[in-house]
Structure 1
Amino acid sequence: MAIEPGQLPELLPAWTFAFLLVVCRVGAALMLLPGLGEQEIPAQVKIGLTLALAALLWPVLAPALPAPPAAPARAVVLVAGECAVGLWIGMLARLVALALPMAAQFLGFLLGLSNAMLFDPSFGASGTALARMVGLGGVVVLFATGLHMLPIAALAGSYAVLPAGGAFPADAAAEAVVIAVAASFALAFQLAGPFVLAGVVFQLTLGLLSRLVPQMQVFFVALPLQVAGGLALLAVLIAGMLSVWTAAASAVLGGLPGL
């Protein structure tokens, strides 16, 4: 439908408000999405991605987006609701991604690498270098397998499930987050399971050696063996760990609201 130049002053506020709603949902999700929401990505790039995705979605979604309300309080509620939906989708996607660095964090403690800690943006706290390396490896796997596109598709489809201006399902959202947290911890323990078992066997062996050979300096003998053996076991199992994590991430990301 052709738009007369005289109609632009009337349509521009509605278009601007509709675009703002799309930016709020997309931008809030992009802050947490695995791969696209990593702390290493500059803020300018994230803002550019947000505006680009919003510009792609807005023409399609514009007819279904609410008109600018007369009351400012209602506008604030609409914006807050869109931000809540975006944060919810982003959090569900982020939780499964955190399982991999969480498992690597366990490994760092088991392998005796916890003495060298550095700031890990994924957790917002100090972590082992191993956890950071494995976490970045997971990001590479996400991009290599194309799984980073699933949350974006979920954002586009979320407007059919959670239309803009509708009530935010707080109860269902909270339940989904709790389930996702439990699943993330379970996946992390599953990935770290072989190392936990190996660590228990290793510590039991050291205990027996200290009893059988009391004069042996067990700590000085054990630490190099612990690090070398753990890294060797990691080299053998890392491909399987990434495979299990990728399958779990594919299942979770493929089940996001809107897909």
Structure 2
Amino acid sequence: MADVLHLTDAQIGGWVAAFLLPLFRVAALLMTLPLFGADMVSARIRLYMALAITLAIVPVLPPMPQLNALDLHALLLCAEQIVIGALMGLAIQMLFQVFVIAGQVVAIQMGMAFASMVDPVNGVNVATVSQFFNMLVTLLFLSMNGHLVVFEVLVESFTTLPVDGGLLTGQFWELANRLSWVLGAAILLVLPAVTALLVVNVALGVMTRAAPQLNIFSVGMPVTIVLGMVILWLNMADILNQYQSLASEALQWLRELARAR
């Protein structure tokens, strides 16, 4: 007669913790990471991706603490993993929002703020210039394997930020300080275009003052839009270097957030 397999509560809790705790961190990252956490990606696909990534990285992770799956301490650890994954995803989300804000600023200056469309990533109406910048930075991020760097930092975070390492109070303050970096980087990104459009608007104002009979709305707006498109096209010549600088800074801050090498 075959022997009956006996499992203790400690063994079951260890197996659950070895897979469940990393799953919460991975799933939280995918929920907030740009492109993967977009509204156009269904929650079922994100769940399948989280399960696949967790199964792939569990064999190389450090040992997880022994716990009871229904204990209060286990629930607190699960909440902590969600916070860590969400913070890592928001760190990369700020990189994308730099370009979205930059596109919004340019659209306002060139008179195209009224031309908006639904952003499938965030599910809100944004200017078409912002949508163009968002698609551009998404393609650059994927083509330069930025998502692989994020997953590398994610795996390393289980060593630098262990599961039972305590809450991340300092990381919350770092995230709040980075909000000013987003606005400043967006302004610097489009500063040449905004300056050129300001000169165009000042020239149109001088023309209106010199010739009051000139209808500025019928002449100035088409001129501003056309010149704005030309200035935006010229500004795109250096967009790759600017993206590399901003992406390097964002990924470096992600490593500092996860205390990774």
Both proteins in one fold, TM over 0.5: yes
Following superposition, the deviation at residue 159 of structure 1 comes to 1.3
Match runs of 1:58-207 below 5 Å = 58-61=58-61, 63-69=62-68, 72-122=71-121, 125-170=124-169, 172-207=170-205
- Cα distance in structure 2, aligned partners of 1:225 and 1:5: 83
Aligned letter for 1:87?
Answer: A
Most deviating of 102-111 and 240-249: 240-249
Aligned letter for 1:46?
Answer: R
Following superposition, the deviation at residue 186 of structure 1 comes to 1.1
How many residue pairs were aligned? 254
Most deviating of 122-131 and 225-234: 122-131
2:185 is paired with a residue whose SS is helix
Q: 1:111-165 CA distances to partner (integer Å, 9 max, x unpaired)? A: 2111122233555532112211210111000111111211111111111221002
Match runs of 1:242-257 below 5 Å = 242-256=240-254, 257=258
Most deviating of 174-183 and 20-29: 174-183
8 A Cα contact 2:34 2:93, kept in partner: yes
8 A Cα contact 1:116 1:129, kept in partner: yes
Normalised to the residue count of structure 1, the TM-score between the two structures is 0.90
- 1:237 aligned residue: 235
Following superposition, the deviation at residue 27 of structure 1 comes to 0.7
Change over 3 Å in CA distance of 1:163–1:112 after alignment to 2? same
- Cα distance in structure 1, aligned partners of 2:188 and 2:247: 14
Following superposition, the deviation at residue 70 of structure 1 comes to 7.1
- 2:17 aligned residue: 17
Structure 2, unaligned stretches of length 5 or more? none
8 A Cα contact 2:16 2:69, kept in partner: no
Following superposition, the deviation at residue 166 of structure 1 comes to 1.8
8 A Cα contact 2:38 2:122, kept in partner: no
- Cα distance in structure 1, aligned partners of 2:39 and 2:78: 24
8 A Cα contact 1:96 1:252, kept in partner: yes
Most deviating of 44-53 and 72-81: 44-53
Match runs of 1:1-12 below 5 Å = 6=5, 11-12=11-12
Normalised to the residue count of structure 2, the TM-score between the two structures is 0.89
Aligned letter for 2:39?
Answer: Q
1:84 is paired with a residue whose SS is helix
- Cα distance in structure 1, aligned partners of 2:109 and 2:213: 25
Change over 3 Å in CA distance of 1:36–1:250 after alignment to 2? farther
2:117 is paired with a residue whose SS is strand
Aligned letter for 1:77?
Answer: L
Match runs of 1:21-32 below 5 Å = 21-32=21-32
Most deviating of 225-234 and 29-38: 29-38
- Cα distance in structure 1, aligned partners of 2:6 and 2:53: 26
- Cα distance in structure 1, aligned partners of 2:244 and 2:121: 18
2:33 is paired with a residue whose SS is coil
Change over 3 Å in CA distance of 1:5–1:121 after alignment to 2? farther
Aligned letter for 1:72?
Answer: D
Q: CA RMSD in A?
A: 2.1
- 2:55 aligned residue: 55
1:66 is paired with a residue whose SS is coil
- Cα distance in structure 2, aligned partners of 1:237 and 1:27: 37
- Cα distance in structure 1, aligned partners of 2:245 and 2:129: 22
8 A Cα contact 1:35 1:148, kept in partner: no
Following superposition, the deviation at residue 19 of structure 1 comes to 0.9
8 A Cα contact 1:34 1:148, kept in partner: no
Calculate percent identity across the aligned residue pairs: 25
2:32 is paired with a residue whose SS is coil
- Cα distance in structure 1, aligned partners of 2:155 and 2:192: 39
